[in-house]
Amino acid sequence: MLITALFFVSCRESEEPVNISLDQRHEITFRPQLPAITYAYLPQYSHTESFQRHNRLVEYLSEQTGLPMRQVFPDTFDNYISMFGQGKIDISFSNPFIYVKLANRYGARAMARIVEADGRAEFRGQIIARKDNQEIQSIEDCRGKSWVAVDPSSAGGYLFPLGHFVDHGFTLTDFREVVFAGGRQENVILGVYAGLHDIGSIREGSLSVVKDKIDINQIKVVDSSIWYPGWVYAHSPRLSQEVVDKIRDAMLKLDYEHNPEHRQILDAAKFIGFVPSDDRDFDQVRALSKKVGLDLE
Amino acid sequence: MHRLRFRTKITLGMTFMLVFCGLGVGLILSAMSSSALLEEGRKRGMALTSGLAFRLAEPILAMDFLQMKNLIDNVNNQYDDIIYIFLTDTSANILSHTFSGGFPTDLLHVNGEGEKPQPVLLATERGLVYDFNVRVSLGKKNLGSVRLGLSRKDIDAQIRRQRLTSLFSTFGVVGLGIILALWFSRTVTFRLNRLRKSVEEIVQGNLDVQAGFSLEKYCWEIMECDRKECPAYGDVQRRCWYLAGTMCPNCCDKEYPFKMENCRQCPVFKHNFGDELQDLAEAFDAMAVTVKNHIEELTEREKTIARQQGLLKTILSVTPDFITLQDKNLTYTFAGKAFCDYFNLDEESIVGKTDADIFTEQQAEINTRENKEILATGLPMAKEITFKRAKEQKWFHVVKVPVYDQDGSIMGLLLTGRDISMLKKFQEQLIQSQKMEDLGRLAGGVAHEINTPLGIILGYTQLMMDDIEDEEILEGMRIIEKQTKVCRKIVADLLGFSRNSQAISETVDINESIQQVIKLVEHAFFMNRIKIIHALDEGIPPLTGDQERLKQVWLNLLNNAADVIGQDGEIHVQSKLNADEGRLIVSIADTGKGIAAEHLGKIFDPFFTTKQVGKGTGLGLSVSFGIIKDHGGKIFAVSPPPEEYLPKDFSKRENFGPGAVFVVELPLADGRKNEDSKDRKGEEEKAEEVSLFS
Q: Note whether A181 and A199 are within 8 A (CB).
A: no
Residues B343 and B97: their CA atoms lie apart, in Å, by: 136
Given this model, what pLDDT does residue A105 score? 92
Partners of residue B167 in chain A, C-beta under 8 Å = none
Cβ proximity of B46 and B119 under 8 Å: yes
pLDDT of residue B177: 86
CATH superfamily for B319-419 is PAS domain (3.30.450.20)
The CATH T-level fold of domain A37-121+229-292 is: D-Maltodextrin-Binding Protein; domain 2 (3.40.190)
Pairing state between β B530-536 and B569-578? parallel
Identify residues of A whose CB sits under 8 angstroms from chain B CBs: 1-2, 4-6, 8-9, 11-12, 15-28, 30-31, 33, 46-48, 50-52, 55, 71-75
Say yes or no for a CB contact (<8 Å) between A17 and B128. Answer: yes
With CB atoms and an 8 Å threshold, state whether B105 touches A51. Answer: no
Domains B6-168 and B319-419 share a fold: yes
Query: Going by C-beta distance under 8 Å and a sequence separation of 6 or more, which residues neighbour residue B529?
Result: B567, B568, B569
Buried b (16+ CB within 10 A) or exposed e, B96-134: bbbbeeebbebbbeebeeeeeebbbbbebeeebbbbbbb
pLDDT per position as a tens digit, B398-434: 999 999 988 888 889 999 998 888 888 888 878 877 7
Answer yes or no: same fold for A37-121+229-292 and A125-226. yes
Report the top-level CATH class of B504-693: alpha beta
Beta-strand (E) ranges in chain A?
Answer: 18-19, 25-26, 37-41, 69-72, 91-94, 109-115, 122-123, 125-130, 146-149, 177-180, 199-203, 219-224, 228-229, 232-235, 273-276
**Other C-beta atoms lying within 10 Å of the C-beta of residue B224:** 6
Helix axes A47-65, B6-62, angle to 10 degrees: 60
CB nearest to B57's CB, from A4, A30, A48 = A48
What does pLDDT average to in each consecutive run of 10 residues of chain B (694 residues)? 78 85 83 86 90 89 87 91 90 87 86 77 90 87 89 88 86 87 84 84 80 79 84 80 79 75 82 79 80 87 90 84 89 88 84 87 88 89 83 85 89 89 83 76 76 86 87 89 83 68 74 88 86 88 86 88 88 88 89 86 78 68 85 89 84 82 85 42 37 32
What are the structural domain ranges in chain A? 37-121+229-292, 125-226
Best residue in B21, B63, B103, B150 for a mutation probing chain A (most A CBs within 10 Å)? B103
Q: Do the Cβ atoms of A17 and B30 come within 8 Å?
A: no
Q: Who among A1, A8, A51 is closest to B61 (CB)?
A: A51
B35: which chain A residues are within 8 Å (Cβ-Cβ)?
A: 8, 12
The confidence score (pLDDT) of residue B497 equals 64
| Global ipTM | 0.71
CB contact under 8 A, A18 and B120: yes
For chain B, first and last CA: distance in Å?
Answer: 93
Using a CB-CB cut-off of 8 Å, the residues of chain B touching A28 are: 94, 102-103, 105
Residue B171, classed as helix, strand or coil, is helix
pLDDT band, residue A77 (cuts 50/70/90): confident
Searching chain B, which residue's CA lies closest to the CA of residue A7? B28
pLDDT of residue B539: 86
A125-226 has CATH 3.40.190.10 classification:
yes
> What length is written for chain B?
694
d(CA B62, CA A241) in angstroms, rounded, equals 28
The minimal CB distance from A4 to the residues B28, B62, B111 is found for B28
Residue B63 C-alpha, separation from nearest chain A C-alpha, in angstroms: 8
Cα–Cα distance measured from residue B316 to residue B322, given in angstroms and rounded to the nearest whole number: 9
For residue B28, list chain A residues with Cβ-Cβ distance below 8 A.
1, 4-5, 8
- Closest Cα in chain B to A10: B31
Count of CB contacts below 8 A, A vs B?
123
Residue B339, pLDDT score: 86
Using an 8 Å CB-CB cutoff, list chain B residues near A18. Answer: 110-111, 120-123
- Cross-chain residue pair A22–B61, CB shorter than 8 Å: no
So where are chain B's domains?
6-168, 207-297, 319-419, 425-495, 504-693
Taking contacts as CB-CB distances below 8 angstroms, the residues of chain A near B83 are 22
Q: What are the two backbone dihedrals, phi and then psi, of residue A259, each rounded to the nearest 5 degrees?
A: -110, 110
Query: Does A5 sit within 8 Å of B28, measured CB to CB?
Result: yes
Domain B6-168 belongs in CATH node 3.30.450.20 = yes
pLDDT at B615: 64
* A169 to chain B, closest Cα gap in Å: 41
Of B20, B105, B110, nearest to A18 by CB-CB distance is B110
Instruction: Give DSSP secondary structure letters for B392-422.
Output: -EEEEEEEEEEEE-TTSSEEEEEEEEEE-HH
Distance separating alpha carbons of residues B111 and B150, to the nearest angstrom:
14
The number of beta carbons lying within 10 Å of the beta carbon of residue B562 is 20
- CB A1 to CB B110 under 8 A? no
Which chain A positions have a beta carbon within 8 Å of B102's beta carbon? 25-28
| pLDDT value at residue B537 | 87
Residue in B closest to A9 by C-alpha: B31
Residue type, A75: D
Would you state the pLDDT for residue B214? Answer: 76
Q: Which residues of B touch A5 (CB under 8 A)?
A: 23-28, 31
Least confident of A35-44, A60-69, B237-246, B659-668: B237-246
Interchain contact, B123 vs A17, CB within 8 Å: yes
* Subunit contact B110:A75, Cβ cutoff 8 A: no
